[in-house]
Structures are given as C-alpha cells and as structure tokens.
Chain A
Amino acid sequence: MLVWSKPWRIATWAVAVPLFLIIYGLPIGVIVLASFSGQWNDILPSNMTLVHYSKAFRSDSFDALKASLLTGVIASGAALVCGTWAALALRNFKTMPKRVLDLLFFIPSAVPSVSVGLALLVAFSQPPFLLNGTTWIVLIAHFVLISAFTYGNVTAGLARIPVDCEQVAESLGARPFYRLRRVTLPLLLPYLVAAFSLSFALSMGELGATVMIYPPGWVTLPVRIFALSDRGAIFDAATMATILGVGTLIVLAILSKVSNRAAVR
C-alpha cells in the first residue's frame, strides 16, 4: 500500500472493502440467494427451497448444462489444437504473413459477438454450407470467437519459453517432431492450460452469437437463462446462473491445478 500512517490505512480499508463487496459480492450473493428462494418480497427472500435445483437437474435445464459443457469442451479443444498449431507454424515469421494472420485471428474478438452470430447465420444458411439449425453452427461460432484468444495465449507463451532449450534439444539430435513433443509442448503446457481455461470460460458464458443461431436441440445455459428470465422465472434463472458459475469454476480450478503441477516441474 502507498498509505503509510496507520489511521489512514484503516480508513482506506474501511472504504475499499465495503465498496468491493457491493460491486462484486452483492450481485453474486443475490443470485445465489435467489436460487434457493421460493419467494422474495421483502429485503430478504423467504421460503428457502431446493426445488429449483431439483428441477434444474431433471428438465431441459439439465440438457442445457450438458450442451454448454460439451460446447465448451469441444470448441475450446478444437481452438486449442488449431490455435497452437497456427502459433507454432507462424512462430518464425516476423513479417507480413504473421501480421496478416494476427489480424485475421484478431477480428472475431474485436467484432461484437452478435455480429459474428449474424454473419455465420447468413453465411451458413444456404447450400453448399447449410449448417443452419444444426449443432455444428453453434460449435463453429464458439470456435471462431475463442480461437483468437488461444492463438494469442499460445503465441505469448512461445515467446517466453527459452529458445536455448529447444536449440540444445535440436543439437542433441532431436528432429522437429520429437523436439516438439518432448521439449516445446511440455514447456508450453502452462500456457496451453491457461489458453484452454480462458476459452472454456468464454464459451460457457457466450450469449450474443449463440442466441442468434442456436437450434432447438442445442440450447446452451446462457441462452436458457436468458429465456427463463425473459419469461419471468427469475428464481430458476438464478439457479441456472449459479450452476453455470459453479460448474465453470470447478473446471477452471481443476485446470489450474494441472497447470501448477506442470509449472512446478
């Protein structure tokens, strides 16, 4: 802290902590609380219940959770593979081709996701690319939106791993693929996990593009939450939002554990 005198330090904390709690804590607290409530007329809810949760794990809500998780894993996995491949392939280019591809990868993350959704809808609504109404279009949308981040993360990681290690490996007789498998990718692992985590979290929360294109059989959680709250089923929406948040956090926690294990070695 930059504040040295003790009373001032206490005063600063006294302002900062409540402010932090109000801005970050209150909305989350309200959602979690709402997910357990049967009625909310007063300042605090009443009729605490688990009924929203039991509903959530039975009805279409559960299908939405499944759809979201699958979309997240598949799109992030594909983005990880492609982003890593692109980053590795473009690693040694310093000039034009790299700039162009950097830009190309950057566009989807700069353009509003609704526009990306609309663009995909228009592009894939007629033969030969008739994907409209299939699960594929959702996966493609998520892939397009998150691959930029994977590419960016892996490129940043590649810039930070020691070049010497790879060159020594090569001079020891490691051919490119062997070197990639035994040196480059292991050194890159923390960045790969970070890239996957980020894209998974992005995919889990994606609404703008998905809502434009989702088929009836593949409703993701955010779309479901949107629909529920639109219908006035606020408590159910809150339950789904809580499940979305907790589910994402669990996956990220597991991934960060993997990444720490890799980084320690």
Chain B
Amino acid sequence: MSQVTVMERTPHIAKPFVASAAPAASDGSRIGFENVSVTYGALTVLHSFTLTVNPGEIVALIGPSGSGKTTALRAVAGFVRPSGGRILIGDRDVTHLAPYDRKIGMVVQNYALFPHMRVEENVAFGLRAHGAAEDVIKKRVPECLAMVGMSTYAKRYPRELSGGQQQRVAIARALAPKPQVLLLDEPLSALDAQIRRSMLDELAKLHRDLPNLTVLYVTHDQSEALTLANHIGIMRDGKLKAFGGSQSLFRHPPNRFAAEFLGRANLLPVTDVQPLDEQMAKVRFGDVTLSARNHHGLARGSDCLVCVRPHDFRFSRASEPNSISGTVLSVQWQGDVHNITFDAGGETVRMTSAPMANPPRIGEIIAVHFDAAEVTLVPEDASHG
C-alpha cells in the first residue's frame, strides 16, 4: 500500500465536491460514479455522487452510519438503481446492466456464504455460474483457497468455520471468477479486534499479489481506511465531503468534518490569516500568534480553524514558538499513551503523549507547542450540508 504516499496538493474545492485522483498506469478496470443519485421514495440517500477509483487502486469510503456508503457500493454492484447519473466499470456504462453481467466481486459484512455448500463449492460457485469447465474449476478453486490460506478447509461447511475463516472464504469466492473490481462492504466489522488487525494485513498483502484489482472498500473505521487505501472519500448525508490521498487527507483535511472524522483532530478557531510564503501563514489564537501550513490557500485576514492532531502536541519547557497554555481537565493513562485534555481559551483540547512517570495533575496549568509544519489551516465551512 505504499505506491501512493506522495503528498498531493489537493486544492480546496468549493462544493460540489468532485473527486478524482491522478490516473495510475495499470491495466485493470476503473470504477466511475458520475453524478449518481439514489432515492428511496422521497428520501435522497445519494446526492449527485461523483468519484473515480482508478485501476488497481484501493479507495476507501468512510463516513458515519447512514451516510450512504453501502448505497454507493450497492449501486456499483447493481442492487440499487440510481435515479440519475452513470456508473462505469472500465469503459462500460453499467448503469442499466443486471448484477450478474457486471463481473464484479462482492464481499459483505456478514460473509453471506452459502450455508448448504461446502467451502470448495462456495468458491466454485462463480465459476460454475459462468459455465466454466470442470478442469478449470478443479485448478482455480484450490488456487483461490491457497490465496487466503484456507486450503485445508475445502471440505468444511461454513457453519464449521470461525468468523475470520468465513470471511477468507468469502474473499476467495469473490475472487475466483477473476473479477477486475472488488467491492468490500465493512468486511471486517463483524470480527474481533485482533483478527481484524491480521485480516487487514492480509488484505494488504492480497492486493500486493493482485496489483490490478480495483477495490472499493466501505468502512466506518478510519484506521482500516488509512491502512489499506490509496485514496479516501469521506461521506456525510449522501454527499462526498472530502476526497484525497490517504496521507494528504489526514494531514490537510479540507474541512471541519473531514478533520474531525478522520483522526479526531483538534480544531482551534483562529483569526486573521497572514500568509508568510507559499506554504505557511501566521494566525491569531486569542492573544498568541501561531504559525501553520496554509495548505488550502486561505486568504489574508480571514478566520479559520487550525487542525492539530492530539499526538502533535509536545510539552514546552521555555516559551517556544507555537506554544499555547491551558488548564488540565482530565488525565487518563492507557498503557502505551497518556490521554490529556486541557482548556485553552475556552476550547477543550485533546493531546496524547508517551506515558509519563509524573503526569500533570487536574487543574494544573500546562504549556504545549507543536511543529508548524505538522498542522494545517482548515477553512471554517459555514454550510453544514
């Protein structure tokens, strides 16, 4: 998952948000949403949704529950009919194609293995449905089971497998007919934390082995998205609120929602942006002056937010630049980190630090600073839509 770690300068685009990443050289199929709208009765759950997943890329769609992630994925699969717009797979317009003609692989949260078939028959299903010859099936099924490390379970029934094993079989089943596009809808959220972690590693490895596979990965878990995806789309209320390279989006969120949803950033209200050069700007936070990256090119004199991740704060000894002080509200030890909240000029700020022998006490005044290059100015979006 390391090919797209180059930082991209995602320009700050006024709504409607249009997402597209630089095309990668590869011979897989892309997935394209072009102004796709989906309505259920009077309820519009996808508003003119536009997004491209380039060939061989993993794009994660994240967002709170009910934001329309599943709907978007099922529109690609063909189980939701858009009321407007087009859906493309490769160069084919599949908007009006039946699901069985779309040649996609799909993995859902609850695995949905066929309970009445053995593991090998589950994996063979797609091949048989396409009328593959018996000798092709005999070769391909063990291949796919080996790919997910389930070779020894070929003769089992799904109910005889653990959740993680079932999910592996579901992935093998989806990949058996060699789809160019794989859709994953919260594939790990039914698994417990430890297995989720190792499945995540395996998914990453699987994609290294199948570099042409185009993957749309729906999740509400930002760490899954950050681990796996080249690009991340953040959804809210059926709209794409932000889209960008995973790192870039994390470091330079384009709006408040993206900053809060991805990585629970602190957003301190600041005033009077004074650009220093191409990159940096000075702002005022109460009576202190802070500097930060002006990644989105905010205009001189405007008000905005400064996005500081909890781990970006360091305790200050002397008066260092970019230093703020506040009253400690809570201190919580979590084994490998200390979580501290403090009040700075009326704002509750979260920070994490390496575990300390003598953590600050509640009510104590502390001074902290951050590296100006690590924090970004984020426009304050007036609209909440």
Contacts and interface: CB of A to CB of B under 8 A. Distances in A.
Nearest to A174: B129
B165 interface: no
Given A173-B103, A173-B126, A168 B116 contact: no
Contacts of B293: none
> Chain B interface: which size bin?
20 to 34
Contact of B125 (A162, A164, A174, A175): A174
Interface string A165-179: 101111111110011
Interface in A229-265: 262, 265
A223 B241 CA distance: 73
Contacts of B256: none
Interface string B158-194: 0000000000001001100100000100000000000
A138 interface: no
B60 interface: no
A186 B118 CA distance: 13
A164 B157 contact: no
A183 B78 contact: no
Contacts of B77: 167, 171
A171 B112 contact: no
Nearest to A167: B79
A169 to B, nearest CB: 7
Contacts of A189: 116
A187 interface: yes
A94 to B, nearest CB: 11
B100 interface: yes
Given A169-B129, A265-B157, A164 B108 contact: yes
Contacts of B113: 165
A262 B102 contact: no
A171 B130 contact: no
B115 interface: yes
B114 A169 contact: yes
Contact of A173 (B114, B177, B183): B177
B117 to A, nearest CB: 8
Main SS class of interface, A: helix
Contacts of A162: 110, 112
Contacts of A9: none
A262 B117 CA distance: 11
A265 B79 contact: no
B218 interface: no
A256 B297 CA distance: 72
B177 A172 contact: yes
Contact of A165 (B98, B114, B128): B114
A186 B114 CA distance: 10
A164 B70 CA distance: 13
A178 B129 contact: yes
Contacts of A170: 78-79, 98-100
Interface in A142-186: 162, 164-165, 167-175, 178-179, 182-183, 186
Contacts of A165: 112-115
Interface string B104-125: 1110101011111000000001
A171 B104 contact: yes
A175 B129 contact: yes
A265 B115 contact: yes
A172 B114 contact: no
Contact of B116 (A174, A178, A265): A265
Contacts of A169: 114, 125, 129
Contacts of A182: 114, 125, 128-129
A187 B112 CA distance: 12
A262 B116 CA distance: 8
A174 B101 CA distance: 9
A174 B108 CA distance: 17
Interface string A66-81: 0000000000000000
Contact of B110 (A164, A175, A178): A164
Interface in B298-312: none
A164 to B, nearest CB: 4
B114 A171 contact: no
A174 B77 CA distance: 13
Most buried by A among B77, B113, B114, B177: B114
Contacts of B79: 167, 170
Given A178-B129, A182-B125, A265-B157, A171 B115 contact: no
Contacts of A173: 100, 103, 126, 129-130, 177
Contacts of B174: 168, 172
Question: Lowest 5 A-B CB distances belong to which pairs?
Answer: A172-B126, A164-B112, A173-B129, A174-B129, A171-B106
Given A171-B78, A172-B126, 13 more contacts: A164-B112, A165-B113, A168-B170, A170-B99, A171-B104, A172-B174, A173-B100, A178-B129, A182-B125, A187-B114, A189-B116, A265-B116, A265-B157
10 contacts: A165-B115, A167-B77, A168-B174, A171-B99, A171-B183, A172-B100, A172-B106, A173-B129, A174-B125, A183-B114
